Structure 1
Amino acid sequence: MSFKDLNLIKPLIKATAASGYTEPTLVQQRTIPLVLDQKDVIVSAQTGTGKTAAFALPILQQLFDKQNAPKKGKKIRALIVSPTRELAVQIQQNFKTYAQFTNLRSLVIFGGTSIEPQIDVLKKGIDILVATPGRLLDLHKQDYVNLDYIEIFVLDEADLMLALGFIDDVKKIERLCPESKQTLLFSATIPYKIEELAKTLLKNPERVDVTPTHSIAKDIDQVLYYVPKRNKIELCLHLMRNTIKGNVLIFRRTKFGVNKLEQSLLTNGFKVDSIHGDKSQSDRQTALNKFKNGYVNVLIATDVAARGIDINELDNVFNFDMPNVAETYVHRIGRTGRAGHLGKAYSMCSADEKSYVKTIENYINVQIPIETDHPFPLDPKAKPIIHKKKGSKYKKGRKSTASKKKKKRWY
């Protein structure tokens, strides 16, 4: 899916591309269409999932038609309330980035700094205000902030608001806004008190839940590398030498692939063994015992051969080939991070495996973190290589040119 598929307008697509984002994250894919439909939304998502853009982009789109100031100047039409100044600054930075090809103006206000510069900008008129609760109420009391024209109200990091004791201020701010507004609530977790707050603030809200499902252990650190298919072995060797610490179980899709990788690793001095369907049960057991007892620290396997393998202290799982079934991914990486040990799951994805990644992320409800800092990056526009079968150059049922020539027959 691309940002175009979310029906965003050109200035916003241009801004996301300029920021280096080509594909929306899971929380963006699910939230943006709902916000554009002007629905109230509760979103449960961790920090770092791209949730700021999930509300910033559709807000900018909704305000875009009325972006040029009327005679009396711009009115504040979107309000984002954030618990801390650091988060507020970060949010406004995002708005600035995504609004670079529009005339929409935003401002961040927070306590602990001089109030005068903030008042100066407010007087000139803005479309979007990002604020911490205390400073917002302070400026409203002094008549510098008018909330009568708010169309969209966003409450970010609601659980942190609760923890910091801002909930009464938030309710006060919400009452100062028009009743007809659209309300969006974002929170890493949704405890009972946030549920209660949501009931008072939102009207028939849609829910978006992008917290990890229980199918993935919390002790597994996942990372994804996009790489051209031809460079997978080189990247594997690079990671084995520089990044991966401890023992590693590598998964490949085919027996041929297992053998090929085993040869490459042996040639490069790694202690490695393998298990796949062509090996006898006793050979598989021997390879597994060598791995468990530390005689080899790399074991390469196919999914079929790896069924039932139980290794208590496995440091890393490495998906050399992405599985095309989401449950298989969960099954593979679930072999590490057991019994209180921290585990790491590395995955390599080539252009033809991108759809598998999307299926897996939807299944586990997690955006797998992408590592771009490596020697063999994949061009984001790369298309899968399709090998076409070459058929006969002659049409079926037609005589060849040679047979059409008038030949002298012997009869």
Structure 2
Amino acid sequence: MAIGRVQALAAAVLIGALTTPVLGQEIAAPEGRSFVVEGSDFAVQGRYLAAAGNCISCHTAVDGEPFAGNVPFQTPFGTIYSSNITPDPDTGIGRWTKEQFVRAMREGIRGDGAHLYPAFPYPAFTILSDEDLDALWAFVRGLPAVQRTVRANELRFPFNQRSLMAVWNLLFFTPARLQFDPKKSQEWNRGAYLVRGLGHCGACHTPRNSFGAEKAELALAGGLYKDWVRPGEMRLWSTPNLTGAKDGLASWQTSDLERYLKSGHSPRAGIFGPMNEVVGNSTRHLGEADIHAMAVYLKDLAPAVEIATSPSATQASAGQLVYTLRCATCHLPDGSGSITTGPPLAGSPVVQTRDPAALINIILYGARPAPSQQPSWKSMDGFASELDDTEIANLSNYLRGSWGNVGSPVTPADVARQR
């Protein structure tokens, strides 16, 4: 549905505030005009947008050059490797036109006309504005060209048939543009654009159906995907519920979210695991107004349906001794945490994820912030060699069944899956 002139003008101002000539230094476009500022460097504005989209994390391999691709994404259908998006003419996108780039971003069609897999989040990027895509195009065109051939995807038949994506798109994808909601504030709309579009938070934080499509009715209610637990080893990760549910962000304040996204830690939580890259490569580079807008939008999300059942009192009590001996010093006996030793576990979205994978990963492998971050808490060492599967399951049940937390019971088999 087309938006009216007033909404269109407001949307133009909104998008204008997202693109900046210097990281962290914001500019606002005059009312009724696009964000393009006379004399500004389009490529530098694109650099800011690329940071908001965390492009470098998904397109830079551990041993590779920036944006040259080859990052593996393990999916239920096989492994997909990210593309080389440098302007190398043979192995990158150097022969693409701007129109082909825009089509890839908005429709999931690459330069040769073949379909991209939704591991590339074009279902989120489809809402990006013309101006922002122009700036991103200028940014990628200005990258150093890297000649690096990307590995072939390792997908099972029939998922290795790209032509089937045409059917997938018909079923699960609708090209769209930003729809400015006149009933919401400008900062809310700005946050929606960042969270739903550039930031593509739903790619990790929304559960998917058996065909790999996000479940729209459970948007940002927590998902599952594979990522690193330590070098060379991938495991399943569960992502927290970002809605206002009890097992989500109900106990968080807007200021907690702002601090977490900007610095990697807040009174409610600290980053670890895959979020190290999100904060380190993306959100910490955003201006304060954009961080605030994201927090405003997230805190306004209606609670997702809470379907988890907590462990029984018997199941929970079995892990109390382990908690007292191993965890209470840093997280305190009542789970309230300390600003200097450990985040609160009472009300923690990570503790309460529907699938306990992330919680188990922390207990097994520890939680360490990225070197670029300086949290107030200590790093946590894992207990993989000190606790067996039953002890970790008991500890998990104690955490998920105490202090008002909710979360389905954890079994030793759940722990064994993560080893």
Coarse TM-score class (shorter-chain normalised): under 0.3
TM-score (norm 2): 0.25
TM-score (norm 1): 0.26
Normalized per residue, the structure richer in strand is: 1
* Larger Rg belongs to: 1
